[in-house]
Amino acid sequence: MEFDIAVVGAGPAGLSFARSLAASGLSIALIEQQPEATLADPPFDGREIALTHHSADIMHRLGLWERISEEDISPLRDAQVFNGPSTYAMRVDHKISRKDELGYLVPNYLIRRSAYEATRGQDGLTLLTETRLTGIRTHDTHAELDLSDGRQLRARLAVAADTRFSDTRRAMGISATMHDFGKTMLVCRMAHSVPHEHVAWEWFDYGQTMALLPLNGLRSSVVLTLPQRQMQAVLDMPEEAFNRDMENRFQYRLGRMQMSSPRCSYPLVGVYPKRFVARRFALIGDAAVGMHPVTAHGFNFGLRGQEALAREILNAHETGRNIADSALLSRYERDHRLATRPLYLATQAIAQLYTNDTLPARTLRSIALRLGQNFAPFKQTLAATLTGDPVLPPWRGGKLRGAE
């Protein structure tokens, strides 16, 4: 089988990438280990994805956004960050961002479903489901991919979008820095009696981290991070005991709480590969940048990266140039590294500092939060990061909201 491009992984990044190349005339093979029925109707996985305005725009352009019903898109108006038992919060107000909200919350399983629906049946696309990639070699002229059913596939360019633990990346000999935080994140939906006013919370308590992602109605996605040895007991609790446990952990700030979805859990591991590209090969999605979820940027980066690579490929294809040219791939790598590396490192630092409960760290945590709250340019930059809208800080010619 011969294709222009072979993509490993039909998750939201792989599907969006294939969709970005629709109408290009390029032949694309999309290799996915799961059955097609699961892509068409993915199960709820607990993740509520905070999307920037920029990501929402990309999803509009790809025809994903309109496939998600309005009631499943929750506005994320403001955000507040707490430290320890204190009720003092650093607040990021949407007003600082020139938008009506900082972003949106959309369930991951609906993003997956809409990406499948938008891509299904696309001209030039061959979906190979229930098929695993088992081997890959790239040469000057093409890439060769071995599939679990014994077939072999040739492509001008191979792209891996097969999770942060990408086997394809490993098979290509690309090393990655991995940081295992030694913690597990529990996510589930809960109804609660106190309104959230569409304000997200990140609460770096001592010994645990909690977050609240406000969904439409009197319900939120509740996030709890604990060392794995403590998490198992929480996952195993009967429903009523879990409800009381969460009320207690949230110190009744949300009133009565009632679980309204299954509990899902994820190990926390940050991954950043040494390279995003190799000969006739590129990484996108989590395979390129595996973010800690605390700054909610994994899929935002995934959308951005697939768009950047697709743009390069489309430009080359339209002008009759090589779609796997090494200069093209290097440009993609440079662009995506520049866009992701600073926030990746900042996220690692935040996650490490705010889960360190030693006395000096507690003091530093509190000082940093108060500095953040009172230093307007910092908050404006933070709001711009959350919205995905590049607002220039004053020292680069931007104007502060309220200073006009």
Ligand X SMILES: Cc1cc2nc3c(=O)[nH]c(=O)nc-3n(C[C@H](O)[C@H](O)[C@H](O)COP(=O)(O)OP(=O)(O)OC[C@H]3O[C@@H](n4cnc5c(N)ncnc54)[C@H](O)[C@@H]3O)c2cc1C
Residue 272 CA to residue 287 CA, distance in Å, equals 8
* Residue range at the interface with ligand X (CB under 6 A); choices 11-19, 197-205, 272-280, 378-386: 11-19
Q: Is 189 left (phi over 0), alpha (psi -120 to 50) or beta?
A: beta
Cα–Cα distances in Å, from 56 out to 49, 53, 94, 175, 259?
Answer: 11, 5, 16, 32, 29
| 14 near ligand X, judged by CB under 6 A | yes
Total of chain residues touching ligand X, rule CB under 6 A: 33
Minimal CB distance to ligand X: which residue?
A: 11
| 388 near ligand X, judged by CB under 6 A | no
Q: Per-residue x/- marks for ligand X, 292-331, CB under 6 A?
A: -x--xxxxx-x-----------------------------
| Cβ distance to ligand X smaller for residue 195 or 267 | 267
Q: Per-residue x/- marks for ligand X, 222-241, CB under 6 A?
A: --------------------
Q: Is 35 exposed, middle or buried (0-12, 13-18, 19+ CB in 10 A)?
A: exposed
Nearest-approach distance from CB 50 to ligand X, in angstroms: 4
By CB under 6 A, name the one of 1, 33, 44, 400 that touches ligand X: 33
* Residue range at the interface with ligand X (CB under 6 A); choices 67-75, 155-163, 316-324, 328-336: 155-163
Cα–Cα distances in Å, from 356 out to 74, 192, 264, 336, 363?
Answer: 32, 29, 25, 30, 11
By CB under 6 A, name the one of 4, 5, 6, 12 that touches ligand X: 12
Nearest-approach distance from CB 327 to ligand X, in angstroms: 25
Q: What sign does the CA torsion over 340, 346, 349, 354 have? A: negative
By CB under 6 A, name the one of 117, 266, 339, 381 that touches ligand X: 266
Residues 175-204 that bind ligand X (CB under 6 A): 185, 187
Apex 315 CA angle, 313 and 318, nearest 5? 105
Residues 48-87 that bind ligand X (CB under 6 A): 49-50
What are 198's two structure tokens? 């569409």
Residue with tokens 């990021």: 92
| Cβ distance to ligand X smaller for residue 32 or 312 | 32
Contact 385, 103 (CB under 8 A): no
Q: What Rg value do the Cα atoms of the chain yield, rounded? A: 22
| Cβ distance to ligand X smaller for residue 31 or 324 | 31
Nearest-approach distance from CB 281 to ligand X, in angstroms: 14
Nearest-approach distance from CB 42 to ligand X, in angstroms: 9
| 13 near ligand X, judged by CB under 6 A | yes
By CB under 6 A, name the one of 107, 214, 270, 285 that touches ligand X: 285
| 34 near ligand X, judged by CB under 6 A | yes
| 20 near ligand X, judged by CB under 6 A | no
By CB under 6 A, name the one of 6, 11, 109, 136 that touches ligand X: 11
Coil/strand/helix, residue 73:
coil
| Cβ distance to ligand X smaller for residue 136 or 313 | 136
Nearest-approach distance from CB 74 to ligand X, in angstroms: 12
Nearest by Cα to 304 from 60, 1, 31, 13:
13
Strands 74-76 and 176-192: unpaired
Residues 108-127 that bind ligand X (CB under 6 A): 108
Q: Is 333 left (phi over 0), alpha (psi -120 to 50) or beta?
A: alpha
Apex 392 CA angle, 93 and 298, nearest 5? 65
| Cβ distance to ligand X smaller for residue 56 or 328 | 56
Contact 10, 39 (CB under 8 A): yes
Coil/strand/helix, residue 151:
coil
By CB under 6 A, name the one of 4, 21, 22, 47 that touches ligand X: 47
Q: How many Cβ atoms sit within 10 Å of the Cβ of residue 86?
A: 10
Numbers of helices and strands, H then E, in the chain: 11, 19
| Cβ distance to ligand X smaller for residue 90 or 106 | 106
End-to-end Cα, the chain, rounded Å:
61
Coil/strand/helix, residue 359:
helix
Query: Which residues of this chain interact with ligand X, rule CB under 6 A?
Result: 8-14, 31-34, 47, 49-50, 108, 132-133, 161-163, 167, 185, 187, 266, 285-286, 293, 296-300, 302
